[in-house]
Amino acid sequence: MKNEKKKRTGRKDIQKALRLFNYIKPFRFQFSIGFLFLIITALAALAFPKLLSMLMSSTPQNLSENLWLLIILLVVQAVASFFRIMIFVNVTEKSLANIRQDVYKHLIQLPMAFFNEKRVGELNSRISSDTTQIQETLTSTLAEFFRQIAMVFGGITILALTSVKLTIFIIAVVPTLMLVAVFFGRFIRKYSKKVQSEIADSNTIVEETLQGIQTVKAFVNEWFEIGRYRLKTNEVAKTAIKGGMYRGSFSAFIVLGIFGAIVAVIWFAVGMIHNGELQENQLSEFLLYAVFIGGSVGGLARVYTNIQKTIGATEDLFEILDSKTEPVSVDHPKAISGFRGSIEFSDIEFSYPSRADIQVLKGVSFKVDQGEQVALVGPSGSGKSTIIQLIMQFYLPDKGKILFDHTKATTFELSEIRNQISIVPQDVLLFGGSIRENIAYGKTDAGQDEIMEAAIKANAHQFIGSFPDGYDTIVGERGIQLSGGQRQRIAIARAVLKNPKILLLDEATSSLDSESEKLVQQALEKLMEGRTSIIIAHRLSTIVKANKILVVDGGRIVEQGTHSELIKNSESRYRQLSEMQLMGEGL
């Protein structure tokens, strides 16, 4: 689908790509000066073969004069090239910084539904390759394009002024050959891309099996993976060998075609000299222009593909810029004054936008008073996490109303609401950086004392202190690996700093061993005090303490009440679930 789009570049696409120039507009003065230098370099390049042939056919009298002309031309071209590149790079980098900032600012405000449909890694690499593509085009491809156009048209004009007949011969032979060469070259490149992607496939096997080496060994599947890898690499070799044949033919073609063309032009021109249609000293000029024009035609084809790629890249970026954002505020958020934190769901129906055909919530209603602690229990896949996502306002319900403090959620600003809620998920993601920075994520302007106080409340201060670098310990990919319970407690410290009215715990303790579970549980209980809390939990001990239990099954709330009320009824779903838990299956 995407490829198809890229192949046919219509007027609309070009119009879209022209939006790129909106980003250059603020620098248009600088840009026009750069363009001036570009014209100078193009003209100089055009004059070069002329002066070169003049030097070649100089008489002893004008030899030094011709040499000086060339030296001056080269110096002018060198200076103009320097300023052209400097100015274009300057304008491009400033525009590109603005593009990157705009795209990121837009991207980060897109709704969750967008991120569900796109793979984050793909998005990331797309943005970086798209901007690189644009950068290349603005700094060099555009200049190349104008230089080559000038060379082709200017060169042909110069040739025609001397001999129309020979010019027509050259136009017929040289550029045609160059075009054939370019297309042949492109075919070969496509082939080598195929080899590349096959290599990538075989690398995936290496990468996956090394990452999952435990699984490979545990299943004694070394033989299987060796076989898989052998098959793939043999395929790579086969494709590459076939590509080698094409490359061989290409090089034979170059020798025959390109050098043959030069021979043909010389042969034709010498014939003309013999007939008196051409002067002997014009031959070298002709040849030089012919070679330069041929080179430019070849270059133009490359430039054309490059510009097309840029149009595609620009389209991709503007697709992101044109996607509708959530109405989040990008200013430092303010608190809603007097927010108390009661929650009500009234007949909520919901399907994830990416799976509109599957209704996840089928009319969910419940009330949670301010400061109340409510447990959601139910089999996995019943919709518990979805309820929490809807409280976070990550998605809007298809039907029904969500109320905070008896007011429709949509009357509040999105950022205001989210600012009153903290979520502690099962898998806590820490950003690469220090522990201090990670805790401060809950309140970016928190001071050292506040951070430490939060860590103490979260039962995290002690283990942080046991690291040599304390709060400055680097975590994440390049830092130390924290255990699940430690990450959990850092997330709790974040939540403490944020000081929300509503707390959402999505199986916050379910993946922990009992030792760290106890520490996390203690910290959570402190955190829950006085806050409206919704807890998805597996352990009966946590659930029993809740003010109210909502039993979720198949996208509905099938029972609600306290533990003692629900357990009394021997027929209740709750009783069933808790019996399963006692047997070790978990709620």
Contacts with ligand ADP by CB under 6 A lie at: 116, 352, 354-355, 360, 378, 380-386
Residue 411 interacting partner from ligand ADP, Mg ion, none (CB closer than 5 to 8 Å by kind): none
Q: How far is the CB of 458 from ligand ADP (least distance, A)?
A: 24
- The four Cα atoms 482, 483, 486, 488 give a dihedral, to 10 degrees, of 110
Phi-psi sector, 334: left (phi>0), alpha (psi -120 to 50), beta: beta
Residue closer to Mg ion, measured from CB, 191 or 366:
366
Q: How far is the CB of 519 from ligand ADP (least distance, A)?
A: 24
Q: Per CB under 5 A, does 578 bind Mg ion?
A: no
Residue 157 interacting partner from ligand ADP, Mg ion, none (CB closer than 5 to 8 Å by kind): none
Q: Per CB under 5 A, does 373 bind Mg ion?
A: no
Q: How far is the CB of 116 from ligand ADP (least distance, A)?
A: 5
Q: Report CA Rg, the chain.
A: 35
Residue 116 interacting partner from Mg ion, ligand ADP, none (CB closer than 5 to 8 Å by kind): ligand ADP
Residue closer to Mg ion, measured from CB, 316 or 517:
517
Q: Which tokens in the block code for residue 405? A: 């403090």
Q: Which tokens in the block code for residue 33? A: 């000066």
Residue closer to ligand ADP, measured from CB, 155 or 378:
378
Q: How far is the CB of 504 from ligand ADP (least distance, A)?
A: 12
Q: How far is the CB of 511 from ligand ADP (least distance, A)?
A: 14
Among 385, 509, 521, 578, the residue binding Mg ion under the rule CB under 5 A is: 385
Q: CA 323, CA 139: separation in Å to the nearest integer?
A: 28
Residue closest to ligand ADP (Cβ): 385
Residue closer to Mg ion, measured from CB, 204 or 380:
380
Q: Per CB under 5 A, does 386 bind Mg ion?
A: no
| CB neighbourhood size of 254 (10 A) | 15
Residue with tokens 């919704």: 534
Residue closer to ligand ADP, measured from CB, 217 or 355:
355
| CB neighbourhood size of 345 (10 A) | 23
Residue closer to Mg ion, measured from CB, 385 or 521:
385
Q: Would you call 577 helix, strand, or coil by DSSP?
A: helix
Q: How far is the CB of 586 from Mg ion (least distance, A)?
A: 12
* Residue 539 dihedral angles phi and psi, to the nearest 5°: -85, 130
Characterize the bridge pairing of strands 433-434 and 474-475: antiparallel
Residue closer to ligand ADP, measured from CB, 178 or 377:
377
Instruction: Determine the angle formed by the axes of helices 260-274 and 164-211, rounding to 10 degrees.
Output: 170
Q: CA 320, CA 19: separation in Å to the nearest integer?
A: 14
- First-to-last C-alpha distance (Å) of the chain: 44
Closest CA to 250 of 180, 332, 167: 180
Residue closer to ligand ADP, measured from CB, 360 or 440:
360
Residue 26 interacting partner from Mg ion, ligand ADP, none (CB closer than 5 to 8 Å by kind): none
With CB under 5 A as the rule, give the number of residues binding Mg ion: 1
Residue 352 interacting partner from Mg ion, ligand ADP, none (CB closer than 5 to 8 Å by kind): ligand ADP
Residue with tokens 């139910």: 378
Characterize the bridge pairing of strands 407-408 and 421-424: unpaired
| Contact by Cβ (8 Å): 520, 459 | yes
Q: How far is the CB of 396 from ligand ADP (least distance, A)?
A: 14
Residue 230 interacting partner from Mg ion, ligand ADP, none (CB closer than 5 to 8 Å by kind): none
Residue closer to ligand ADP, measured from CB, 386 or 509:
386
Residue 28 interacting partner from ligand ADP, Mg ion, none (CB closer than 5 to 8 Å by kind): none
Q: How far is the CB of 580 from ligand ADP (least distance, A)?
A: 15
Residue closer to ligand ADP, measured from CB, 384 or 548:
384
Q: How far is the CB of 525 from ligand ADP (least distance, A)?
A: 22
| CB neighbourhood size of 110 (10 A) | 17
Q: How far is the CB of 384 from Mg ion (least distance, A)?
A: 5
- The four Cα atoms 471, 476, 480, 484 give a dihedral, to 10 degrees, of 90
Closest CA to 512 of 480, 488, 543: 488
Residue 217 DSSP code:
H
Q: Which residues bind Mg ion (CB under 5 A)?
A: 385
